[in-house]
Amino acid sequence: MPIHPIEYRYFTEEMKRIFSQENQVAMWLKIEAALSKVHAQFGTIPKTAAEEISKKATLSYVKLERINQIEQEIDHDLMAMVRALSEVCEGDAGKYVHLAATSYDTEDTATALILSQAVQVILKNVRSVLSILVKLCKTHINLVCVGRTHGQHALPTTYGMRFGVWAAEFARHIDRLTETLPRISVGKMSGAVGTMASFGKNGISFQRRVMELLNLQPVLIANQIVQRDRHAELILILALIAGTIDKIARQIRILQRNEIAELFEPFKQTQVGSSTMPQKRNPHKSERLCGLSRVVKSNTYIALENISLEDERDITNSSAERVLFSETFVLLDYMLIQLASILSGLEFNIENVKRNLHLTEGAFLSERLMIELVGKGIGRQDAHEVLRSTIVEARDKKKSVRAALQSIPLIKSKFSPKELDEILDPQNYIGTAVEQVEELVRYLQSRYLMQ
């Protein structure tokens, strides 16, 4: 019976397969086959033995049921695989399985293969989200909306700018993943404390050849394990991606509030928002992403703790990593797929975008009016104070902001009603928003989306 939600609720089949026991054992067997081939190249085992080990080092011959049965007897999962592989090898080939290697020569090298597979899937899905955000940038490049800082109306911006900020962040995540991929795509074949004593004088060449067969880089130096700073860096990057997803989902939730109601996550005709309030359209998909991001981000603590192993290693990282790697990757993969679905189906209420844009009757354009007054010879501080006090008074007395501004002798003497209307039109105060988004889109498409 499934226990963890990544088994039955928050997963995709693609990522789930990567972290399955079947794939882990398949990678172990792949490494044992490579190890035997290199032994044969160096003449430390017969070539026929290497051929037999390589032939049998697949799940077609080595059954999970048998591995699990042996593990129940010896309480060591890697050694259970070694015995199960040895059993199916004919002749005397079985006695050469895992020769000179320590468990983590196989396990850490397999981890590199598995994490490399998983990173490629995450990269694919990050690019998918980036592609959707670029489309949203282009579609809404001219959609002017009210910007908010501290939850208050600030200055006009555009939805193109909003989507552009998110898109640029996802592009940086692609850079980070691409940069860290070589650092986690490394393996070792150096024995119990990393000295390669069990491999003899050819140890360095031996390790290099094994990694060449596996399309990995050999570590420059290790003790019993590949050092965990590599894995911690990767988990931190995945947490950064989760943080961006959290930020986007949170913004969608804010913009879906009844008082704002500018955009909404997709909502099916038959979907239920609340068990007791039929009218509700809860942004539960976005809320789910915010919640799951907390789990992913919390895993960074575990990854950082795993760096500090004792002496040439202890085993405190092992049990934690059985949860850490699969949980983090499976959840983040699910989150990226869900975010792509939400962004692709966003629903806009353009009337509410316009309504909110004019909610303060131009008060949020006081910065522009102040700058225009300075251009007319008024001191910046004087202009600021006149506008501040006028707008505050209009708000407190529930007067029209525009009428209050037009009643100020200073404003009347410097601007005609038509000029004031032009100044207080939010469409005329978005600066280089359109140009910035156009430049960003060109850059993102040429660097990240042409592959």
| Average pLDDT score over residue span 368-375 | 84
291: tokens are 């919640």
pLDDT attached to residue 378? 80
274 is catalytic: yes
List pLDDT tens digits, range 43-89: 999 999 999 999 999 999 999 999 999 999 999 999 999 999 999 99
Catalytic position from the list 4, 76, 274, 308: 274
275 is catalytic: no
User: Residue 232 above 70 pLDDT?
Assistant: yes
Of the listed ranges 41-45, 68-72, 311-315, 358-362, the least confidently predicted one is 358-362
Catalytic position from the list 150, 275, 413, 416: 150
pLDDT attached to residue 271? 56
Q: Among 340, 346, 335, which Cα is nearest to 283's?
A: 346
Given pLDDT bands bounded at 50, 70 and 90, which one contains residue 245? Answer: very high
Q: Among 224, 29, 23, 188, which Cα is nearest to 114's?
A: 23
pLDDT attached to residue 171? 98
List pLDDT tens digits, range 266-298: 876 665 555 555 556 789 999 999 999 999 999
pLDDT attached to residue 274? 57
DSSP assignment of 36-72, as one string?
Answer: HHHHHHHTSS-HHHHHHHHHH-STTTS-HHHHHHHHH
Average pLDDT of the chain, as a whole number = 93
User: Residue 438 above 80 pLDDT?
Assistant: yes
| Average pLDDT score over residue span 4-25 | 96
pLDDT attached to residue 344? 97
DSSP assignment of 405-444, as one string?
Answer: HHT-HHHHHH--HHHHHHHT-GGG--TTHHHHHHHHHHHH
User: Residue 113 above 90 pLDDT?
Assistant: yes
Of the listed ranges 66-70, 99-103, 118-122, 423-427, the least confidently predicted one is 423-427
Q: Among 183, 190, 138, which Cα is nearest to 164's?
A: 138
Of all residues in the chain, what percent carry a pLDDT higher than 70?
Answer: 97
For the chain, the distance separating the N- and C-terminal CA atoms, rounded to the nearest angstrom, is 42
Helix (H, G, I), strand (E, B) or coil at 114: helix
Question: Is the pLDDT higher at 154 or at 279?
Answer: 154
| Average pLDDT score over residue span 330-335 | 98
Q: Helices 103-139 and 433-448 meet at what angle, rounded to 10?
A: 140
List pLDDT tens digits, range 56-66: 999 999 999 99
151: tokens are 């939850």
pLDDT attached to residue 178? 98
Distance CA 118, CA 38 (A): 27
